[in-house]
Amino acid sequence: MLKAFRAWRRERILGRSTLDNSLWRALTRRYSFMRVLGETERARLHDLVVLFLHQKSLVGAGGLEVREEMRVGIAAQACMLILNLDLDWYRGWTEVIVYPDEFLAEYDYVDEDGVAHHVREPMSGESWLTGPVILSWADTEQADSGGGYNVVIHEFAHKLDMLNGDANGFPPLHGEMSRTDWSRTFGTAYDDFCRRVDARQETRIDPYAAESPAEFFAVLSEAFFEIPHAVRGEYPDVYGQLAAFYRQDPAVRTAP
Ligand SMILES: [Zn+2]
């Protein structure tokens, strides 16, 4: 009964969609990782975007007016992660806040010596546990520039990671996946990546991934969608785990 009601509600929202078709087509051409989607996947992405925009509110901050193409662009990138999952993976929060550029995050922490610090630092994106996703529009616009940098995918990967508590690089896995394999694969790759970054080796993957296991998962998720062949080449086992988790294989959509 509940299932039937949810399906009816979903169809009603989709039926009332006012998503502009030419805007939608322009946006899916704007991002290379959307251009390569097949017809079925593209139609599914479209429906997820309509449902996402119905459920979430995208609000401007710092004087930014969030235009329709910004709303749809952010929603479409966010929905790439859940293309073969479900909107339910973004449950428990409703707001996406967009600043024109980097914004100042302020927080307090106590270091190992017991000294309290107050930090103000510029951020390109931030995700709060059961709270909003915060994005810098200037950084969002740098998506798909070839380096694997995508702040929307990054922050929404944190959101998936936080479905089972604080971000730690361990999102809730599907029943057919092994927690042991995930830990071993990501642990080994993370140690190797940190060693390479410490040795100042060139990597296709953003060195920021060495920051913590949570950042490693988020940065590898950006690269998984934007430069899948680089991830598959450098860390094939991590690629395999991400493909099983996202239920997508972006490398087969594009030539290396
Ligand atoms: Zn992060």
Output the CA 1–ligand 1 centroid distance in Å.
39
Output the CA 212–ligand 1 centroid distance in Å.
9
Output the CA 56–ligand 1 centroid distance in Å.
21
Output the CA 6–ligand 1 centroid distance in Å.
33
Output the CA 167–ligand 1 centroid distance in Å.
9
Instruction: With CA atoms as reference, report the closest residue to 156 among 143, 138, 175, 146.
Output: 143
Task: Tell me the pLDDT of the chain averaged across its residues.
Answer: 94
Please give the Cα distance from 155 to 108 (Å, whole number). Answer: 21
Output the CA 22–ligand 1 centroid distance in Å.
33
Output the CA 8–ligand 1 centroid distance in Å.
36
pLDDT digits (tens, 9 = 90+) for 138-155: 999 999 988 899 999 999
The parts of the chain modelled with pLDDT lower than 50 are none
Output the CA 179–ligand 1 centroid distance in Å.
22
Find residue 116's DSSP bridge partners.
110
pLDDT digits (tens, 9 = 90+) for 157-190: 999 999 999 999 999 999 999 999 999 999 999 9
Torsion of CA 143, 147, 150, 155, to 10 degrees: -170
Output the CA 210–ligand 1 centroid distance in Å.
11
Residue 49: per-residue pLDDT = 97
Output the CA 175–ligand 1 centroid distance in Å.
26
Instruction: With CA atoms as reference, report the closest residue to 54 among 42, 46, 63.
Output: 46
Output the CA 125–ligand 1 centroid distance in Å.
7
